[in-house]
Each structure stands twice: as structure tokens, then as C-alpha cells.
């Protein structure tokens, strides 16, 4: 397994691989890997000759009061997991290498990014799209694998790849959950034992939405109200948003008549967690029950 820190070296290596006829798969991460990330690696492994996993805590996608400085990091643990999972290259650049002095070019989207997480985290998706665009260029990826948990992010990346003509196939992987149903996230490590138990309210709210939909309910407002009613009594929980949006446009809907994304973000204590479900169900949420 090769570890590359320099963006220039990463691009030179990728171009040489492309000239040799190799198909490159990219798994972008911020490190502190868990089984969800390793599932992305397995999917990339099936679709590429060479798997590149990037580990980069991207400063431009964090707001001034967010957790950039304390975001969990453990490179040695990540390296061991990557070696076991069959990663060929770890790309682990420093922030100053990705954003050198004088850096001034960013990628901004002006439609899909305005709602959901974009409404409460201004500038977040500008940072995400910028770093992903750079990763696409540096790794010369033929295929890039992302997780369904970050549904809005993936939809934005799909749009960027289309609108800016990146020759990369975006692959969406199902949400990987803990045994009790909590969506896996590096930020779960922030939770106290009590908060960890209370965090189950996210997937329980999605189960409520699914149950109502299966029973014939199509009024989005009623479903959202029922979800919110299940979360509000949880002591540590504070709702950021609960929304039912068109799966393609991410615009809120009044009635569920086509494919929709049921998405929510909830603060459990100080920890911001997200989860989602697609209706009609397509298996991507892996929601228990």
C-alpha cells in the first residue's frame, strides 16, 4: 500500500496508472474510519483496478463554530484498516498543500445546496464541492464511491460532475448502521453513553415515516409532525430540520407522489447527526424493522 501526501505526486501517480490502462476508484473520507467507510472500499474494489482512499479533514467545509479542530483523527489506525481492506493508495495531504498561500478558486452550487444542511451550514457545500473537485483531478478517478447517509452531498456531487463534465461515475452505497440501527458516523464518538442511547431517536423517526407511508399516508406535513413528536421528548435532542423533499430536485413536497428523500438532522447534545430514508424504499437506508 502506497501513502502519498503531495498533491503533485498523487496526480503524477494517477496519470501513470491511467496510461497503463488501470481503472481508478476513489473513496473520499475525512479519516477516523469505520465499517461504513470500509463498505465503500469494498464497492470500489469491485469496480476498479486501483483503489485510492483519501484522508483529509477539509477545513473549508467547516464553519467558524464547528468541530474542525476536534474532529477525530487517528492515522495509524486508519492505515491499518486500509491495509486490511485492500486499499492500494492512501492520499493524505496537509491543508496547506491542498490550499496553498494565495488560493482563491472555489466551486459553488446555487440550487440544490440551499436547503437541508445547506440552510444551517452556510459555506459547507462550497467547501465540499471544492475539495471533491480537487480530488477528482488529483486522483484521475474513473469511479468515486459515496455513502447514502450524506444524501444531499452526493446529489450535489452528481450535479457537479454533470455540469462541469467530470469523466467520473458516481456510485451510491447504502447506509451502514450499528447493530441497534444508528447510522455509522465518525462523530458518534462524541456522544456520551446517555446521548448514544438517545441518538436512536433519528432512526426511530424514520421508522415512523416509513410506517405511516406503508399505511397509506402521503401528506408530508403529517409525517413530519409525527416524526417531530417522537424526537421532542428526548432530553438531549434538538431538531435542526426534518424535511421531505423530491429525491432529484431536493425541493420540499406537500404530498408524496414520486420518489422522495425523508431527511433529518438533529443535535444530540452538541453533536450534529444526520440520517435519511428514500420513499418508496430502495434499500439504500438499511433501516431496521
Residues designated catalytic: 37
Chain mean position to CA 139: 19
Per DSSP, the three-state class of 286 is coil
Interatomic CA distance for residues 37 and 118, integer angstroms: 23
Positive/negative CA dihedral, 76, 80, 83, 87: negative
Q: Which three cell numbers stand for residue 113?
A: 445546496
Contact (CB, 8 A) for 173 and 283: no
Q: Which three cell numbers stand for residue 236?
A: 438531549
Q: How many CB atoms lie within 10 A of CB 67?
A: 15
Interatomic CA distance for residues 47 and 178, integer angstroms: 26
Interatomic CA distance for residues 204 and 47, integer angstroms: 34
Side-chain-facing half-sphere of 130: CA atoms under 13 Å? 18
Q: Indicate the helix (H) or strand (E) that contains 103.
A: none
Amino acid at each position: 500500500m502506497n501513502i502519498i501526501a503531495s498533491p503533485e505526486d498523487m496526480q503524477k501517480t494517477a496519470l501513470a496508472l491511467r496510461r497503463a490502462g488501470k481503472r481508478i476508484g476513489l473513496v473520499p473520507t475525512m479519516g477516523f474510519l469505520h465499517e461504513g467507510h470500509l463498505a465503500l472500499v469494498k464497492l470500489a474494489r469491485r469496480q476498479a483496478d486501483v483503489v485510492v482512499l483519501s484522508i483529509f479533514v477539509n477545513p473549508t467545509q467547516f464553519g467558524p463554530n464547528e468541530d474542525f479542530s476536534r474532529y477525530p483523527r487517528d492515522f495509524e489506525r486508519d492505515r491499518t484498516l486500509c491495509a486490511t481492506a485492500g486499499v492500494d493508495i492512501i492520499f493524505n495531504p496537509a491543508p496547506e498543500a491542498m490550499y496553498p498561500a494565495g488560493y482563491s478558486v472555489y466551486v459553488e452550487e446555487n440550487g440544490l445546496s440551499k436547503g437541508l444542511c445547506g440552510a444551517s451550514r452556510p459555506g459547507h457545500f462550497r467547501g465540499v464541492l471544492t475539495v471533491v473537485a480537487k480530488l477528482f483531478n488529483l486522483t484521475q478517478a474513473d469511479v468515486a464511491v459515496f455513502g447514502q447517509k450524506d444524501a444531499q452531498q452526493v446529489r450535489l456531487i452528481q450535479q457537479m460532475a454533470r455540469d462541469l463534465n467530470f469523466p467520473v461515475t458516481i456510485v451510491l452505497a447504502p447506509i451502514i448502521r450499528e447493530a441497534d440501527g444508528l447510522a455509522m458516523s465518525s462523530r458518534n464518538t462524541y456522544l456520551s453513553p446517555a446521548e448514544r442511547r438517545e441518538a436512536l431517536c433519528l432512526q426511530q423517526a424514520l421508522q415512523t415515516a416509513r410506517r405511516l407511508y406503508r399505511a397509506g399516508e402521503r401528506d408530508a406535513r403529517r409525517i413530519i409532525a409525527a416524526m417531530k413528536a417522537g424526537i421532542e421528548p428526548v432530553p438531549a435532542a434538538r431538531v435542526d430540520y426534518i424535511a421531505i423533499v423530491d429525491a432529484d430536485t431536493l425541493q420540499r413536497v406537500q404530498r408524496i407522489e414520486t420518489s422522495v428523500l425523508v431527511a433529518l438532522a438533529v443535535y444530540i447534545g452538541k453533536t450534529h447527526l444526520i440520517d435519511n430514508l428514500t420513499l418508496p424504499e430502495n434499500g439504500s437506508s438499511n433501516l431496521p424493522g
